[in-house]
Structure 1
Amino acid sequence: MTSTTRVLHVIESFGAGSLTSMLQYVRAMPEVEHHLLFRPRPGEYEPAGELALFATTEVLPGGHRAARRAVRAAVRRVRPAVVHAHSTYAGGYVRLAVRSTPRCRIVYTPHCFAFERGDVPAPARRLYRLAEWVLARNCDTLAACSPREAHLGRGWGYRRVVVVPNVAARATVAVAGAADPGPLRVVTIGRVSPQKDPAFFAEVVARLRQTHPDATATWIGAGEPALVAVLERAGVRVTGWRSHPEAVAELAGAAVYVHTGAWEGFPMSVLEADAADRPIVVRRIPAFAGSSPRWSWGTPAAVAAAVADAAAHPAQNRASWRAFLRDHDLGTQRDRLRRVYLDTEVAR
């Protein structure tokens, strides 16, 4: 293939981490001609010039049937070598609308499989598993965002799997210096939703204030009003959605970045905190398997204690996370994307 290879990105969740991850794929592969079919989530997308990265853009209509028709029309119009579907809904729309062929290959990145959701009943999770097993037959490549996502994909029938690590390019994140003296400030980023578990974050803040009464907490994002109210009652400042530059500028002022998501593929926000050189403490979930247990805990009380530890020993925390995240680099991401987009004979 040549530098004129066309990739059509289809994304329904055009906001928060999935958007950030997809845009980094585009920036990493400037030799490819990128096209976009997207549905901006109301209130979650703050434009900051990202659409200029694409040769063409088109809004994905609402409704499942209309979305599938739009995918077929976009494929006819763009004639891509690759259709890259991002997240669950887009993965369904694309694979139900068109067939993966050697001339138009379907690539799918779940950004966390839907069957890992903890906010739906067991029968729904079984249905998601069945859908993945069926739709895997109409997919050339699973471009997994982490080794765990790759492992899960192989278990559900994806035959060609490439790990494309998420990356927060340091050129887009202002590297912060030492935290300002004063009250301990903790920050998180994401949609206020069951996945990110705001109640867990609120409890971390409450526990932290038992030993650091002046500690402040900020949630960069917005979401479900009832869950926003949980945070605000706990004294957490909820910023609403910010453009990406505004969000990372806010992140740079944190003493510690705290991630309390209950299930993840691999969160971009942790990588952005790393790129900003912020100490990081996370809830212990499978996405962080292999990270230092000193900074990964399963209860709000233990996470709060680790936050105080990280604030007191930032150099030790940063060294640990740099080691764990060493493969989330631009060179590795670019190499894997070249294999996904340009090499049809990549090892299975």
Structure 2
Amino acid sequence: MPHRVRGVVAKAKGQPVTVETIIIPDPGPGEAVVRVQTCGVCHTDLHYREGGINDEFPFLLGHEAAGIVEEVGEGVTDLAPGDFVVLNWRAVCGSCRACAKGKPQYCFSTHNAAQPMTLEDGTPLTNALGIGAFAEKTLVHSGQCTKVDPSASPAAVGLLGCGVMAGIGAAINTGNVSRGDTVAVIGCGGVGNAAIMGAKLAGASKVIAVDVDAAKLEWARGFGATDVVNSRETDAVEAIQALTGGFGADVVIDAVGRPETWKQAFYARDLAGTVVLVGVPTPEMTLELPFIDVFSRGGALKSSWYGDCLPSRDFPMLVDLYQQGRLDLDAFVTETIALDGVEAAFDKMHGGQVLRSVVQL
């Protein structure tokens, strides 16, 4: 029997979101209905509302979520009602060319639910990142559900569903930060601070946080930054070089995603160092760089998609570290809000007042 629930919908570009009645069908083959407990307010949701992803309105927003499996469809054998799960947007197919090469973290054909959720009038909804979890329940592919320790706090571990995993993975998986490395992170919002946490977890000896906001730099210290640079007041590249013996950092992570911050990352790394782009640029942005500089500096220029994570591998491991007190995911939760607080949360996020507002249902 279909479910009628409340959910947060963006109906038109740039318009305030509204709480609507959502119709969720019974799960079909390979699908699961999940009762959402928490969902973080991520900048990607704001991108959807602003039409920065695509124009397939209306959108059912929300994707950084944790909850309880309520029903499963035909053929689902690895989930059961009552399982506590973190939702993910990389449900690997197991058969594409990346999966065939043993690199499922780069899967080119990830699964989503086949059936749409709809408004009351039957209008199909486009789910943010194939999830749509600013709702009391949501319909997903079973592969989007990663089982983790049920005693963990949903508000904290649900953030692994996007931003926190993207940052930690940018350092550990994409940047391959190792013991003794020097690391710089440009942009100290939720993703940037997660990258700082990931770099410390990997054993970096020095982690330099760069931002234009003094309050965010204080947050960064709390997540493990050994040094901070206010790039509104000083040249970021010169400051990073000065803090690394004049050489530059082994790994520089751009958690902003603008041409100017990427150039800072490029020139602030050591020779043969690594640049990781995890901040998401917008389609109109372009980059111009002397080609000889790309050649002469060597090293690696990488983009990090979702922290190059494999949810089935990374989520349980990070939740275990959280449960051991070695990964302070609670520190990312600035506030908990109700479904009707999402629009106000967008304003706070845009103003840099919060790391994460988390919808609690």
* TM more than 0.5: no
Normalized per residue, the structure richer in strand is 2
Normalized per residue, the structure richer in helix is 1
TM-score normalised per structure 2: 0.35
TM-score normalised per structure 1: 0.36
